[in-house]
Amino acid sequence: MQLHQFSRRDMLKLSSTAAVIGFFAPLFHISPVQATENLNKKALVVYFSMPETDTPHNMTREEENSTVVIDGKVLGNTQYVAQLIQEMTGGDIFRIVPQTPYPTDHRTLVDLAKEEQNENARPVIAGTVNLAAYDTIFLGYPNWWGDMPMILYTFLEQYDFSGKTIIPFCTHGGSGFSRTIQTMQGKQPNATVIRDGYALSRSRMERAPSGVAEWLKEVGLKK
Ligand SMILES: Cc1cc2nc3c(=O)[nH]c(=O)nc-3n(C[C@H](O)[C@H](O)[C@H](O)COP(=O)(O)O)c2cc1C
């Protein structure tokens, strides 16, 4: 391959392009340097997921509903989508884990989730994440009782997303996002929350790889 030699004309072209960018940048509140930094920053995928079993054998219907088995490994539905997003964007990943583990028994979990919602609880999250390193945060969760699980409220109140972009995704049993995207924007008024999030029904999990790829292209974040 021949290396391109910069001629004097090329240099002039380059410097006049830089001058044009520099001239217009203040109009858009960006500097060329800042724009480059944003391009180089990785996205972060944050998710909560509650697979109701960790063994792929003899699953009950409820356990099947909340899991995907990939290469013999059991993943929660939202966990699977989160991993696909991470792979396809080359981002980092952080799982929201409750300090007190949730029960895996379906009935007990459903009742506890309702109780937490009624009490407007804020379950404590084990571990922390440094958001400063990221401008774009994918935030994923299962729809629980027509809302985000209460631990998502803990997360959204614990961190400041000002100036950042939040891209929601969820898995569900028919309710889609419910009003969770609006709730999220209300919790983080100084963040940009993308309305066009990705919601996938638990009965359509086989569509996840192509669905996530298409959606990431639409939001302009496919690697
Ligand atoms: C406690 C609980 C409450 C749920 N409530 C709803 C609901 O209101 N609407 C809905 O569509 N799905 C509901 N579901 C189904 C989950 O959203 C769905 O199974 C999801 O894919 C689970 O994701 P996960 O495996 O990542 O936890 C509920 C599931 C649980 C465990």
Which one of 53, 143, 180 would you pick to mutate in the ligand 1 pocket, going by the greatest count of ligand atoms within 8 A of its CB? 143
Rounded distance from Cα 127 to ligand 1 centre (Å): 24
Please compute the mean of the pLDDT values over residues 54-71 and round it to a whole number.
95
Each residue's pLDDT tens digit, 130-172: 999 999 999 999 999 999 999 999 999 999 999 999 999 999 9
Q: Which amino acid is at 156?
A: L
220 or 15, which is more confident: 220
User: For helices 208-218 and 77-89, what crossing angle results, to 10°?
Assistant: 50
Which one of 77, 102, 144 would you pick to mutate in the ligand 1 pocket, going by the greatest count of ligand atoms within 8 A of its CB? 144
Give the alpha-carbon dihedral of 157, 162, 167, 171, to 10 degrees.
0
| Architecture of the domain made up of 41-218 | 3-Layer(aba) Sandwich (3.40)
| Domain map (residue ranges) of the chain | 1-40, 41-218
